[in-house]
Structure 1
Amino acid sequence: MDKLISLLKNQHVDYEVVEHNIPINTAQQGANYFGIDIGQTAPTLIFKTDKGYYALIISGDYGRIDLIALQEKFQLQEIKFAKPNEVEQVTGSKIGSVSLINPDIPTFMDRELFRFNYVYGGTGVPQTTLKINPKDIEKLNHIAGYIR
């Protein structure tokens, strides 16, 4: 997490790292814990495609991911959820705590996150959550495209 904090500070980003003593495994758990709209939760998902690995940062109210729609929208031959060991290999963290900030991974971003001043997502470290403005997520990642 030191690398993340260093990046956030160097870019003069307004953020907060919130520590919690319980694991948060779903968008609904996050919304309940922080007392926020479920849409403000922002899980980061990792996909394996024919063009390499991609991240998808979605609003917690997105619903089920339609892989065929993503495949067509981003002109991919193949797309599937990365396996747990692949997620760890690519991001350095386990599923459920993948950071919102992964500058080295091309990222698709849900435009619906911009409804909020702050969203909450992973830091790369279990039982910590990053509170950050979606525009800063956009600025610090390599955005390859948008959904919604």
Structure 2
Amino acid sequence: MDKLISILEEQDIEYEILEHREQINTAQEGADYFGIVIGQTAPTLILKTEKGIYALIVSGDYGRVNLDIIKELISVEQVKLASPKEVEQVTSSKIGSVSLVNPGIPTILDNQLNRYAFVYGGTGIPQTTLKIRPSDLERVNEIEGYIG
């Protein structure tokens, strides 16, 4: 988490690290816990392609991700969700806690997150959540493209 905080501080990003007793496993659980709408939750998915690994940050109300849209966006033949083991190797965190900030990983961002002043997502550490402005996610990640 020190790396995350130093990135946010260096970029002069307004953020909050929220600690909670229980691990939040789904967008709905996060919305219920924080008293926010589900669209403000921002899970980070890790995708595997022939070009390498990508992060996909989606709004919690996005629905099922259409991998064909992702293929076209980043010009690849194959896209699949990384396995739990691959996610851990690439991000050093487990599925469900993957950070919203992933230096060195090309990132695809859901435009629907911009409906909100703040979104909530992983820090890389279970039982903590990052509250951040969607526009700041663009500043601290290597944005490859947008969906939504």
Q: TM-score range by the shorter chain?
A: over 0.9
Is there any run of 5+ residues in structure 2 with no aligned partner, and where?
none
Q: TM-score, normalised by structure 1?
A: 0.98
Q: TM-score, normalised by structure 2?
A: 0.98
Amino acid at match of 1:29: E
Which consecutive segments of 4 or more residues in structure 1 shift more than 4 A?
A: none
Amino acid at match of 2:21: N
CA–CA separation in structure 2 for the residues paired with 1:144 and 1:103: 13
CA–CA separation in structure 2 for the residues paired with 1:43 and 1:50: 23
1:144 is matched with 144
Query: CA offsets, 1:72-130, max 9 Å, x none?
Result: 23221111000111101111111100000002100000001011110000000000000
1:98 is matched with 98
Does the 8 A contact of 2:73 with 2:145 survive in 1?
no
Q: How well do the aligned residues superpose, as a CA RMSD in angstroms?
A: 0.7
Is there any run of 5+ residues in structure 1 with no aligned partner, and where?
none
1:46 is matched with 46
CA–CA separation in structure 2 for the residues paired with 1:143 and 1:3: 19
Q: Say how many residue pairs are matched.
A: 148
The yes-or-no answer on 1:59 pairing with 2:59 is yes
CA–CA separation in structure 2 for the residues paired with 1:92 and 1:75: 27
Amino acid at match of 2:9: K
